[in-house]
Amino acid sequence: MRLLVTGGAGFIGANFILYWLKHHPDDEIVNFDKLTYAGNLENLSSVEKNPRYRFVQGDICVSKDVVAAMDGIDTVVHFAAESHVDRSILEAAPFITTNVTGTQVLLDASLKAKVKRFHHVSTDEVFGALPLNTPDKFNEATAYDPRSPYSASKAGSDHLVRAYFHTFGLPVTITNCSNNYGPFQFPEKLIPLAVTNLLEGRKVPVYGDGKYVRDWLYVDDHCRAIDAVLTRGRVGETYCVGGLTEDVDNLTIIKNILTIMGKDESQIEYVTDRPGHDRRYAVDWTKINKELGWKPENDFQTWLNLTVAWYRDHEDWWKRVKSGAYKEYYAKQYKSAL
């Protein structure tokens, strides 16, 4: 395969490129990334000289650049997005531009290039929120009910991808996955923010009562799920991907991290809640399990221990990421805690 990976300098995209080059020794990858605040080529320093890997800086909203990058490509894996809910609350416009318009530009270029597969990476957040203490889970038949500018923009992109399948016959697949965690995640998201704050001797900001539930998926498990869908999935289909089979709330995760790091609960700081905060996400991943034999490789505790260890061992990486513009974002987002 010759893959165009969009957003490959971000968290999941970079993990995916490293995973794919290792497990598919005959394939070539072009990484197309704008390098926004979230893009970091340091994530890919171990493969930058690999002859099967090439980086192209570009914006998925700019048609001529996308068309040029698509030359010789047979498979598109689309990660590029504005991805953080809190930033979408501070400013929605870049989310609509990149996530909706950018996806449409990419779909048009993919049609023109006659790619054999367009895989779209989406989120469980398009399904809205579930109540606490119910057995309900999201699955492929759940109606869309996005509630933040981020999830609304991702829902728009999902609809466009399906529209290009039905209207133009573009061979698409979609995965809607839950919250990822693991190496190279930008420390604006809960787990890397908590771990790196604690390593810096700072407290962990917990929104509201902390009794919000997410389904947690280790990034490598996610990469294997995309691999299963790309190599064995059915065109036109959507697959939900999740990591946990039991609910775990944010406070429990933070306490777990405190224990791993030998800290106590005085390091928790309750801060103003996120507006419109979705109470609970849970994903039923029966379809991908039954059809493609995918399941998470390890349990949450094993992956969480490894993740904390990775940030402990990569202080240079996150210290660089947390300098500069990150400080301005942190001051704006967490002003109630400063």
Return phi, psi of residue 117, to 5°: -155, 135
**Which amino acid, residue 127?**
F
Nearer to ligand TYD, 178 or 238 (CB): 178
Nearer to ligand NAD, 249 or 270 (CB): 249
Looking up tokens 């210290």 gives 319
Check if the beta carbon of residue 75 is closer than 8 Å to that of residue 128: no
**Which amino acid, residue 17?**
I
Looking at residue 83, what DSSP letter applies? -
- Convert residues 128-167 into a mask of x (bound to ligand NAD by CB under 6 A) and - (unbound): --------------------------x-------------
Nearer to ligand TYD, 190 or 223 (CB): 190
Cα atoms found within 13 Å of the Cα of residue 135, Cβ hemisphere only? 0
Closest CA to 261 of 204, 319, 189: 204
238 makes contact, choosing from ligand NAD, ligand TYD, none, with CB < 5 to 8 Å by partner type, with none
221 makes contact, choosing from ligand TYD, ligand NAD, none, with CB < 5 to 8 Å by partner type, with none
Nearer to ligand NAD, 12 or 213 (CB): 12
Q: What angle do CA 201, 278, 159 make, to 5 degrees?
A: 120
Is-catalytic flag, 218?
Answer: no
d(CA 150, CA 154): 6
Estimate to the nearest angstrom the gap between the alpha carbon of 87 and the chain centroid: 15
154 makes contact, choosing from ligand NAD, ligand TYD, none, with CB < 5 to 8 Å by partner type, with ligand NAD
d(CA 56, CA 33): 7
User: Applying CB under 6 A, which of residues 10, 128, 182, 242 lies at the interface with ligand NAD?
Assistant: 10
Catalytic residue among 59, 125, 227, 247: 125
Is-catalytic flag, 125?
Answer: yes
C-alpha dist (Å) from residue 100 to 107, 120, 126, 161: 11, 12, 13, 10
Reported as type and span, the H/E element at residue 149 is helix 149-168
Total binding residues for ligand TYD by CB under 6 A?
A: 12
User: Applying CB under 6 A, which of residues 31, 75, 123, 238 lies at the interface with ligand NAD?
Assistant: 123
Q: Which two tokens stand for residue 14?
A: 């970079």
Q: Which two tokens stand for residue 261?
A: 């790091």
Q: Which stretch binds ligand TYD (CB under 6 A): 47-55, 199-207, 258-266, 301-309?
A: 199-207
d(CA 65, CA 94): 19
Closest CA to 307 of 225, 247, 244, 218: 218
- Convert residues 223-262 into a mask of x (bound to ligand TYD by CB under 6 A) and - (unbound): ---------------------------x------------
197 makes contact, choosing from ligand NAD, ligand TYD, none, with CB < 5 to 8 Å by partner type, with none
Is-catalytic flag, 207?
Answer: no
User: Applying CB under 6 A, which of residues 155, 206, 230, 308 lies at the interface with ligand TYD?
Assistant: 206
Check if the beta carbon of residue 270 is closer than 8 Å to that of residue 206: yes
Total binding residues for ligand NAD by CB under 6 A?
A: 30
Q: Which residues bind ligand TYD (CB under 6 A)?
A: 85, 179, 189-190, 193, 205-207, 212, 214, 250, 274
Q: Which residues are catalytic?
A: 124-125, 150
Q: Which residues bind ligand NAD (CB under 6 A)?
A: 6-7, 9-13, 33-36, 38-39, 59-61, 79-83, 98, 102, 121, 123, 154, 177, 179-180, 186
